[in-house]
Amino acid sequence: MSTINNLNVDRENTTTLDYDSTAYDAYRPTYSSRLYTKIYEYHTSHSSSFSTALDVATGTGCVARELSKTFQQVYANDISQDMISSASAFNSSNIQYSISAAEDLSQFKDSTIDLVTVATALHWIDCEKFFKEAWRVLKQNGTLAIFGYSSFHIVNGYPAATKEFKKFTLETFGDYFDPRMVLIDNMYRDIVIPDELFKNIIWERNEYNEKEGNMNDGECYLNKEWSVEQLKNFMKSWSFYRSYMSKCQKENQKIEDPVDKLFEKLKEKEGWKDEQILKISWSFVLGLAEKN
| CA pair distance 244, 34, nearest whole angstrom | 35
Q: Is residue 2 a part of any domain in this protein?
A: no
pLDDT value, residue 219:
67
What pLDDT is recorded for position 253?
A: 79
- pLDDT of 11 reads 36
Domain contains 241 = yes
Q: Residue 16 falls within a domain, yes or no?
A: no
* Euclidean distance between CA atoms 220 and 199, whole angstroms: 25
- Confidence band for 27, pLDDT divided at 50, 70 and 90: low
Percentage of residues of the chain with pLDDT beyond 90? 75
Is the residue at 139 inside a domain? Answer: yes
User: Per the domain annotation, does 79 fall within a domain?
Assistant: yes
Is the pLDDT at 20 greater than 60? The verdict is: no
Given a cut of 80, whether residue 206 has pLDDT beyond it is yes
pLDDT at 213: 78
pLDDT score at 217: 62
Q: Compute the mean pLDDT over every residue in the chain, rounded to the nearest whole number.
A: 89
pLDDT tens for 247-284 read 998 888 788 899 999 999 999 999 999 999 999 999 99
- CB burial of 134-143 (b: ≥16 within 10 Å; e: otherwise) equals bbbbbbebbb
Give the mean model confidence (pLDDT) for residues 25-36.
79
> CATH code at 181?
3.40.50.150
Indicate if the pLDDT at residue 30 is higher than 90.
no
Structural domains of the chain, count: 1
**pLDDT of the residue at 74:** 98
Lowest-confidence segment of 125-134, 190-199, 216-225 by average pLDDT:
216-225
Does a structural domain hold residue 145? Answer: yes
Residue by residue, what is the 3-state secondary structure of the chain?
A: CCCECCCCCCCCCCCCCCCCHHHHHHHCCCCCHHHHHHHHHHHHCCCCCCCEEEEECCCCCHHHHHHCCCCCEEEEEECCHHHHHHHHCCCCCCEEEEECCCCCCCCCCCCCEEEEEEECCHHHCCHHHHHHHHHHHEEEEEEEEEEEEEEEEEECCCHHHHHHHHHHHHHHHHHHCCCCHHHHHCCCCCECCCCCCEEEEEEEEECEECCCCEECCCCCCCEEEEEHHHHHHHHCCCHHHHHHHHHHHHCCCCCCCHHHHHHHHHHHHHCCCCCCEEEEEEEEEEEEEEEC
Over the stretch 109-119, which tens digit does the pLDDT of each residue have?
Answer: 999 999 999 99
- The region that residue 59 occupies, defined by phi over 0 for left and psi between -120 and 50 for alpha, beta otherwise, is left
Q: What is the mean pLDDT of residues 40-45?
A: 98
Q: Is the model's pLDDT at 289 over the cut of 50?
A: yes
Position 10 confidence tier, pLDDT thresholds 50, 70, 90: very low
pLDDT confidence of 98, banded at 50, 70, 90? Answer: very high
Band (pLDDT 50/70/90 cuts) for residue 184 is very high
Is the model's pLDDT at 77 over the cut of 70? Answer: yes
Name the pLDDT band for 90 (thresholds 50, 70, 90).
Answer: confident
Asked whether residue 192 is assigned to any structural domain, the reply reads: yes
**198 in the Ramachandran plot: left (φ > 0), alpha (ψ -120 to 50) or beta?**
beta
Average pLDDT over residues 33-52: 97
Burial class (CB in 10 A: 0-12, 13-18, 19+), 149: buried
Instruction: State which residues form the domain around 127.
Output: 21-291
In a domain, 129, yes or no: yes
With a cut of 80, say whether residue 15 has pLDDT above it: no
Query: Does 34 score more than 60 pLDDT?
Result: yes
pLDDT reported for residue 103: 97
Model-level pTM?
Answer: 0.86
